[in-house]
Amino acid sequence: MLLLQLPEDVLYHILSYLDYRSLSRLSQVCRSLCRFVNRDAVWRRIAREFLNTGIRRDGTDIYPHIPLKERVKIAQNWRDGVCKRAILLKWKTKLLPWLQLDGDVLFLSQAADIGAYHLRQDSGRLQRNPFEIYSGHNGDVCHFVLTDSHLISGGSDGKILVHSRTSDVSVELSGHNQEVNCLDSKDGLIISGSRDRTTRIWTSTSNCPKDTIPMYDRVWSVAISPALSSFVTGTACCENFSPLRIWDVERSECVSSLGSEFRRGAGVLDMVFESPFQLFTCGYDTFIRLWDLRLSPRKCAMEWEEPHDSALYCIQTDGNHMIASGSSYYGVVRLWDKRQTECLQFFQLSTDPVSSPVYCLRFSSTRLYAALATALHSLDFRQNPVYIR
The upper half-sphere exposure of residue 113, i.e. CA atoms within 13 Å in the direction of its Cβ, equals 7
Distance of alpha carbon 109 from alpha carbon 166, whole angstroms = 19
Whether the predicted pLDDT of 162 surpasses 80: yes
What are the helix (H) ranges across the chain? 8-15, 20-26, 31-37, 40-47, 68-80
Whether the predicted pLDDT of 273 surpasses 70: yes
Segment 7-34 mean pLDDT:
76
Distance of alpha carbon 389 from alpha carbon 384, whole angstroms = 9
Pairing of strands 141-146, 150-155: antiparallel
Segment 6-29 mean pLDDT:
76
Distance of alpha carbon 223 from alpha carbon 186, whole angstroms = 10
Structure-model confidence comparison of residues 268 and 355, the more confident one: 268
Whether the predicted pLDDT of 388 surpasses 70: no
What is the pTM assigned to this prediction? 0.92
Least confident of 23-27, 207-211, 341-345, 355-359: 23-27
* Predicted pLDDT of residue 36: 76
Q: What is the pLDDT of residues 301-359, one digit of tens each?
A: 999 999 998 999 999 999 999 999 999 999 999 999 999 999 999 999 987 767 899 99
Q: Percentage of the chain surpassing pLDDT 90? A: 72
Distance of alpha carbon 353 from alpha carbon 119, whole angstroms = 30
Structure-model confidence comparison of residues 271 and 266, the more confident one: 271
Nearest CA to 317 out of 71, 51, 48, 70 is that of: 51
Whether the predicted pLDDT of 386 surpasses 60: no
* Predicted pLDDT of residue 125: 83
Whether the predicted pLDDT of 366 surpasses 90: yes
**Nearest-5° Cα angle at 311, 309 to 317:** 110
Segment 29-44 mean pLDDT:
79
- In CATH, what number does 84-380 get? 2.130.10.10
Q: Percentage of the chain surpassing pLDDT 70? A: 97
* Predicted pLDDT of residue 385: 52
Q: What is the pLDDT of residues 168-206, one digit of tens each?
A: 889 999 879 999 999 999 999 999 999 999 999 998 788
Nearest CA to 165 out of 110, 223, 100 is that of: 100
* Predicted pLDDT of residue 204: 79
Q: What are phi and psi of 181, to 5 degrees?
A: -80, -25
Segment 258-265 mean pLDDT:
85
Q: What is the pLDDT of residues 91-144, one digit of tens each?
A: 999 999 999 999 999 999 999 999 999 998 877 788 889 999 999 999 999 999
Nearest CA to 196 out of 212, 211, 176 is that of: 176
Distance of alpha carbon 182 from alpha carbon 372, whole angstroms = 18
Whether the predicted pLDDT of 28 surpasses 80: no
* Predicted pLDDT of residue 4: 67
Q: What is the mean pLDDT of the chain?
A: 91
Give the residue range(s) of CATH 2.130.10.10 domains in the chain. 84-380
